[in-house]
């Protein structure tokens, strides 16, 4: 389908509303994306006429739900270039995916003195689980600093990397500035020393095509809600040869073959990592979001967002006392501060004009400390934004700056 912004926007009913008497200008897609009608209809229809548990029972509805649930896994596997459906584990989101790796693989393999390398620009979800595991195993967190431009310090990483490093946890694309990390080089360097690499793809999966096989990532985690899908569904890709090295981390129904008081036999992966009743509607909603997105040319989407980003950057650059934090051209994510003005006050005035943005530390306290700031205002773009959104945002930020 040829990309046409008006046609795209018409598929997102959320965008038609007003806020405080102003047309809604939604610029917070890095926090969560809005959902197209196809995804909304898929989820509603599931609960309306298809609702049943999966991999349980023999009636028609459970067979149908199971088929759609596993077909969704196949859709995800194909979309990200996974070698098989069995390498795709359903989770609640990126956070749970990272915790799964931490409490299954890492806790079983890390020993006292082993190192976990993490950059200080990571989201808390890719820091805190590793701190907890380090406390339990005696492993050491090796902090990789940022450069003066707020990016991953590749030179420091090369010098710091040693055979003591057993795991590197790195974001594909950072959530505050939109910086793309050198994940290909990081993975290659880590693998030379026998370390495994987990990629936090919460933002990356949205901004560029991902092929986990070509990337050679050991683990790749992402959330559905940032990619036009429902909340509460996430994906963890695990390289096939690592699945057998991961003990189960939650017990319950569905993840077993047989239970007795003399011992339990667990199901094969990925089922052994999916205890309890799964988010069936979320899984099929994510598959629908992927299929909906695939009707467009990725290059046209990338060009559309890059043009919006450029216009936004140029407009904000004319405002006195504004400082754009770690600008990444074309990324669709732009954070800024205004000297002497609190980020919360700016966001409040924007909200009064119908402009929805994110303000604060963005779950990135270490990055804020490294930048010597308390927070930023972040604007994040998506496929459904148009130039009127950018024009309104620039005008509203100028007005807020004048008032404050």
For residue 288, is it within any domain? Answer: yes
Q: Check residue 24 and give its pLDDT.
A: 97
Residue 78 sits in the same domain as residue 220: yes
Whether the Cβ atoms of residue 145 and residue 370 lie closer than 8 Å to each other: yes
Express each pLDDT in 272-294 by its tens digit.
Answer: 999 999 999 999 999 999 999 99
For residue 36, is it within any domain? Answer: no
For residue 363, is it within any domain? Answer: yes
For residue 218, is it within any domain? Answer: yes
Across the chain, mean pLDDT equals 96
Q: What pTM, to 2 d.p., does this model score?
A: 0.96
**Region 9-25 average pLDDT:** 96
Give the CA count within 13 Å in the CB-facing half-sphere of 106: 35
From 293, 316, 342, the end of a domain falls on 293
Residue 227 sits in the same domain as residue 307: no
Residue 261 sits in the same domain as residue 138: yes
Residue 262 sits in the same domain as residue 308: no
Whether the Cβ atoms of residue 338 and residue 316 lie closer than 8 Å to each other: no
For residue 169, is it within any domain? Answer: yes
DSSP helix/strand/coil, 18? strand
pLDDT at 341 over 80: yes
**Region 296-325 average pLDDT:** 96
Q: Check residue 1 and give its pLDDT.
A: 65
Residue 208 sits in the same domain as residue 238: yes
pLDDT at 75 over 70: yes
pLDDT at 379 over 70: yes
pLDDT at 114 over 70: yes
Whether the Cβ atoms of residue 27 and residue 336 lie closer than 8 Å to each other: no
Residue 224 sits in the same domain as residue 313: no
- CATH of residue 332: 3.90.1150.10
For residue 185, is it within any domain? Answer: yes
Residue 380 φ then ψ, to 5°: -130, 135
Q: Check residue 254 and give its pLDDT.
A: 86
Give me 318's structure tokens. Answer: 């004319």
Number of structural domains (the chain) is 2
d(CA 175, CA 333): 8
- CATH of residue 221: 3.40.640.10
From 293, 324, 352, the end of a domain falls on 293
| Beta pairing, strands 358-360 & 376-380 | antiparallel
Give me 108's structure tokens. Answer: 């079983």
d(CA 26, CA 112): 47
What is the domain extent for residue 313?
5-31+297-403
Residue 243 sits in the same domain as residue 390: no
How much is the CA Rg of the chain, to the nearest whole Å? 22
In this structure, what DSSP letter does residue 126 have? G
From 236, 261, 293, the end of a domain falls on 293
d(CA 241, CA 130): 22
Express each pLDDT in 125-180 by its tens digit.
Answer: 999 999 999 999 999 999 999 998 889 999 999 999 999 999 999 999 999 999 99
Residue 138 sits in the same domain as residue 201: yes
For residue 244, is it within any domain? Answer: yes
Give me 344's structure tokens. Answer: 């919360």
Q: Check residue 58 and give its pLDDT.
A: 80
Q: Which residues contact 264 (CB under 8 A, 6 or more apart)?
A: 251, 256, 258
Residue 98 sits in the same domain as residue 146: yes
d(CA 161, CA 144): 10
Q: Check residue 197 and give its pLDDT.
A: 98
For residue 125, is it within any domain? Answer: yes
Residue 279 sits in the same domain as residue 308: no
Q: In this predicted model, which residue has the larger pLDDT, 323 or 58?
A: 323
Q: Which residues contact 152 (CB under 8 A, 6 or more apart)?
A: 119, 121, 144, 146, 170, 179, 181, 182, 186
User: Does the active-site annotation cover 363?
Assistant: yes
Residue 210 sits in the same domain as residue 138: yes
Residue 93 sits in the same domain as residue 18: no
Give whole-number Cα distances, 200 to 98, 205, 384, in Å.
8, 9, 24
């Amino acid at each position: 389908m040829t990309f046409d912004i008006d046609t795209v926007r018409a598929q997102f009913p959320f965008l038609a509303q007003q806020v405080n008497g102003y047309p809604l200008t939604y610029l917070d897609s890095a926090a969560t994306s809005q959902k197209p009608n196809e995804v909304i209809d898929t989820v509603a229809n599931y609960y309306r006429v298809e609702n049943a548990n999966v991999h349980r029972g023999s009636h028609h509805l459970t067979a149908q739900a199971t088929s759609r649930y596993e077909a969704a896994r196949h859709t995800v596997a194909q979309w990200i270039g996974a070698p098989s459906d069995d390498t795709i584990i359903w989770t609640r989101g990126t956070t749970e995916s990272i915790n799964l790796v931490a409490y299954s693989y890492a806790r079983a393999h890390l020993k006292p003195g082993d190192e976990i390398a993490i950059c200080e620009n990571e989201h808390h979800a890719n820091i805190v689980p590793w701190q907890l595991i380090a406390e339990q195993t005696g492993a050491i967190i090796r902090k990789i600093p940022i450069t003066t431009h707020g990016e991953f310090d590749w030179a420091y990483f090369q010098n710091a990397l040693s055979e003591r490093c057993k795991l590197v946890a790195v974001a594909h694309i950072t959530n505050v500035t939109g910086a793309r990390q050198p994940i290909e080089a990081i993975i290659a360097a880590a693998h030379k020393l026998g370390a495994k690499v987990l990629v936090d793809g919460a933002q990356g999966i949205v901004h560029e095509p991902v092929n986990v096989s070509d990337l050679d990532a050991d683990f790749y985690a992402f959330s559905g809600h940032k990619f036009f899908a429902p909340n509460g569904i996430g994906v963890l890709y695990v390289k096939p040869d690592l699945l057998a090295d991961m003990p189960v981390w939650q017990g319950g129904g569905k993840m077993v073959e047989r239970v007795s008081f003399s011992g339990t036999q667990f199901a094969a992966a990925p089922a052994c990592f999916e205890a309890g009743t799964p988010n069936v509607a979320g899984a099929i909603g994510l598959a629908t979001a992927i299929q909906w997105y695939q009707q467009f040319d990725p290059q046209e989407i990338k060009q559309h967002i890059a043009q919006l980003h450029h216009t936004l950057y140029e407009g904000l650059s004319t405002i006195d006392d504004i400082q754009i934090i770690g600008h990444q051209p074309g990324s669709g994510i732009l954070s800024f501060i205004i000297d002497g003005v609190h980020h919360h006050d700016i966001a409040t005035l924007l909200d009064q004009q119908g402009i929805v943005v994110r303000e604060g530390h963005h779950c990135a306290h270490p990055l804020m400390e490294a930048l010597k700031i308390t927070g930023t205002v972040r604007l994040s773009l998506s496929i459904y934004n148009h130039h009127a959104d950018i024009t309104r945002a620039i005008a509203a930020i100028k007005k807020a700056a004048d008032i404050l």
